[in-house]
Structure 1
Amino acid sequence: MYVELVDETGKLPAEIMKQTEELLAFAAQKLQLKEATEMAVTFVDNARSHELNLEYRQTDRPTDVISLEYKPDDSEFFFDEEMEVPEELLAEMDPFIGELFISIDKAAEQAADYGHSIEREYGWLAVHGFLHINGYDHYTPEEEAEMFGLQEEILTAYGLTR
Structure 2
Amino acid sequence: MDITFIDETEKVSSEHIKEVENLLQFAADFLDIPDDAELSVSFMDNEGIRVINRDYRGKDTATDVISFAMEEEGAGEIPIIFDEDEDVVFPRNLGDLMISIERAEEQAVEYGHSFERELGFLAVHGFLHLNGYDHMNEQDEKEMFGLQKEILNAYGLER
Common fold: TM-score over 0.5: yes
Query: 1:56-85: CA deviations, max 9, x gaps?
Result: 11100010000000028425x5x3xxx6x9
Q: Spell out structure 1 runs of 4+ moving beyond 3 A.
A: none
66-75 or 8-17, larger mean C-alpha shift = 66-75
Query: 1:5-44: CA deviations, max 9, x gaps?
Result: 1111001121110011010000000000100011000000
Number of aligned pairs?
153
Is residue 124 of structure 2 the alignment partner of residue 127 of structure 1?
yes
Displacement of 1:94: 3.9
SS of the aligned residue for 1:153 comes to: helix
SS of the aligned residue for 1:108 comes to: helix
Number of the residue aligned with 2:139? 142
Greater fraction helix: 1
* Matched ranges for 1:60-75 at <5 A: 60-71=60-71, 73-74=79-80
AA in 1 matched with 2:80: D
Is residue 7 of structure 2 the alignment partner of residue 10 of structure 1?
no
Supply the distance in 1 between the matched residues of 2:128 and 2:37 (Cα, whole angstroms): 14
Supply the distance in 2 between the matched residues of 1:124 and 1:103 (Cα, whole angstroms): 12
Number of the residue aligned with 2:76? none
Query: 1:90-139: CA deviations, max 9, x gaps?
Result: 8x524211110000000000000000000000000000000001000001
Number of the residue aligned with 1:54? 54
SS of the aligned residue for 2:119 comes to: helix
Supply the distance in 2 between the matched residues of 1:52 and 1:3 (Cα, whole angstroms): 21
AA in 2 matched with 1:57: R
34-43 or 63-72, larger mean C-alpha shift = 63-72
Number of the residue aligned with 1:95? 92
Instruction: Note if contact 2:49-2:63 (Cα within 8 Å) is conserved in structure 1.
Output: yes
1:156 aligned residue (149, 153, 158): 153
Instruction: Note if contact 2:36-2:91 (Cα within 8 Å) is conserved in structure 1.
Output: no
AA in 2 matched with 1:93: F
Supply the distance in 2 between the matched residues of 1:15 and 1:117 (Cα, whole angstroms): 15
Structure 2 unaligned segments of length 5 or more: list them: 73-78
AA in 1 matched with 2:15: E
SS of the aligned residue for 1:74 comes to: coil
Number of the residue aligned with 1:113? 110
Among all aligned residue pairs of Structure 1 and Structure 2, give the percentage whose two residues are the same amino acid.
49
Q: Compute the RMSD of aligned alpha carbons.
A: 2.0
